[in-house]
């Protein structure tokens, strides 16, 4: 028997139908990161970057949160919403960068710099968050670091985001961890230069997880959520996209008159792409895989996340840390 494109379409439509029914039955909401597959973005109740998704889950009325992203994102939802059931459709969907730092190693590093504050990128485990003073995302990292009274900052785990912060906050000393995103690190300066040569009129927008030499070529450095807002408001008609390819789907949908170019075919996060419609249906049907955080870790990690959310709303460290 030959499997045709029509069969594929029918299969996808049936899965979408099944997910819609299960969602109602389970009182569930589907939260989707910007790097997810196109068909997963299509069934989202909410799509966004790490900060937008953390904010979105806080006031959710549904009983179940199906998190279509990677493990640390689902974990953040579980930390902020202990009363909800948070499901990660594929339990192996992790972030390799988040695994590059452990709570034990961070604690050891901290002993060498007792005067430093620890800022952790949300791409980290709940245990690492629990060891940190405050979290940040790619959209508020500079704001978070500037808000601290400390002169020295230990920043984990992304050395590229850390270097970007150091360039923008020269009055502080940023002690870097040797972590990186295996997807963004693949994008080279040469690839971007080549694209700029082909499309000289295009603006280059880059995620701060890219190498410093790539970030230096960017017209604008932005989180994934920031890229949508920027493209919408920019008078430019063409853009070179320095982040994971999943972004291009919504960019094209929201800006049909604009053009988008990916400078490398390797800008794919394999972990994000593990989540499929089939696994989402499976997770709702069997209520797997629930992401849970031990209470003593959750309470500490929540403090670091909440401090970040408060800084993003303009609060000062002295006020939120009870100084």
Residues near ligand SF4, by CB under 6 A: 70, 95-97, 123, 181-184, 209, 244, 269, 271-272
Residues 238 and 258 sit within 8 Å (Cβ to Cβ): yes
137 binds, among ligand SF4, ligand 13P, none (CB under 5 to 8 A by kind): ligand 13P
Our CB check for ligand SF4 shows the closer of 123 and 312 to be 123
Supply the minimum distance, in Å, between the C-beta of residue 88 and ligand 13P. Answer: 15
| Site of interaction with ligand 13P (CB under 6 A) | 34, 49-50, 123, 137-138, 181, 209, 223-224
Residue 158 DSSP symbol: B
Residues forming a β-bridge with 277: none
- CB of 137 or CB of 166, closer to ligand 13P: 137
Q: How far is the CB of 22 from ligand SF4 (least distance, A)?
A: 26
**Burial category of 283 from C-beta neighbours within 10 Å (exposed 0-12, middle 13-18, buried 19 and up):** buried
Of 173 and 219, the one with the shorter C-beta distance to ligand 13P is 219
- Smallest separation (angstroms) from ligand SF4 to the CB of 129: 15
The closest of 269, 210, 270, 213 to 241, measured between CA atoms, is 210
Contacts of 169 (CB under 8 A, 6+ apart): 142, 145, 146
Those residues whose C-beta lies under 8 Å from the C-beta of residue 96, and which sit 6 or more positions away, are 181, 182, 271
Task: Name the pairing type of β-strands 46-48 and 85-87.
Answer: unpaired
> Smallest distance from the beta carbon of 167 to ligand SF4, in angstroms?
20
Pick the closer one to ligand SF4 by CB: 78 or 116.
Answer: 78
Residue 43 near residue 284, CB atoms below 8 Å: no
**271, interface contact from ligand SF4, ligand 13P, none, CB < 5-8 Å by kind:** ligand SF4
Instruction: Name the residue nearer to ligand 13P (CB basis): 165 or 181.
Output: 181
């Amino acid at each position: 028997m030959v499997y045709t494109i029509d069969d594929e379409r029918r299969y996808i439509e049936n899965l979408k139908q099944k997910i819609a029914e299960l969602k109602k039955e389970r009182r569930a909401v589907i939260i989707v990161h910007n790097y997810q597959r196109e068909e997963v973005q299509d069934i989202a109740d909410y799509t966004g970057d790490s900060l937008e998704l953390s904010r979105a889950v806080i006031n959710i009325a549904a009983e179940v949160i199906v998190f279509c992203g990677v493990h640390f994102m689902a974990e953040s939802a579980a930390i902020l919403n202990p009363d909800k059931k948070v499901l990660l459709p594929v339990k192996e969907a992790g972030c390799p960068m988040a695994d590059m730092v452990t709570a034990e190693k961070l604690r050891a590093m901290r002993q060498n710099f007792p005067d430093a504050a620890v800022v952790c990128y949300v791409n980290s485990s709940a245990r690492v968050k629990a060891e940190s003073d405050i979290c940040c995302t790619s959209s508020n990292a500079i704001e978070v670091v500037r808000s601290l009274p400390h002169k020295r900052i230990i920043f984990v785990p992304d050395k590229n985001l850390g270097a970007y912060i150091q360039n923008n906050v020269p009055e502080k000393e940023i002690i870097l961890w040797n972590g990186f995103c295996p997807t963004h690190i693949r994008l080279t300066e040469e690839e971007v230069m080549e694209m700029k040569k082909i499309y000289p009129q295009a603006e280059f927008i880059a995620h701060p997880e890219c190498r410093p030499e790539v970030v230096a070529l960017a017209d604008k450095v932005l989180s994934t959520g920031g890229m949508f807002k920027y493209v919408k408001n920019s008078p430019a008609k063409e853009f070179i996209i320095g982040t994971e390819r999943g972004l291009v789907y919504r960019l094209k949908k929201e800006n049909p008159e604009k053009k988008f170019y990916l400078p490398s075919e390797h800008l794919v996060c394999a972990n994000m792409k593990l989540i499929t419609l089939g696994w989402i249906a499976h997770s709702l049907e069997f209520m797997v895989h629930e992401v849970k955080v031990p209470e003593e870790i959750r309470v500490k990690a929540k403090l670091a996340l909440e401090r970040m959310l408060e800084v993003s709303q303009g609060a000062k460290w002295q006020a939120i840390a009870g100084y």
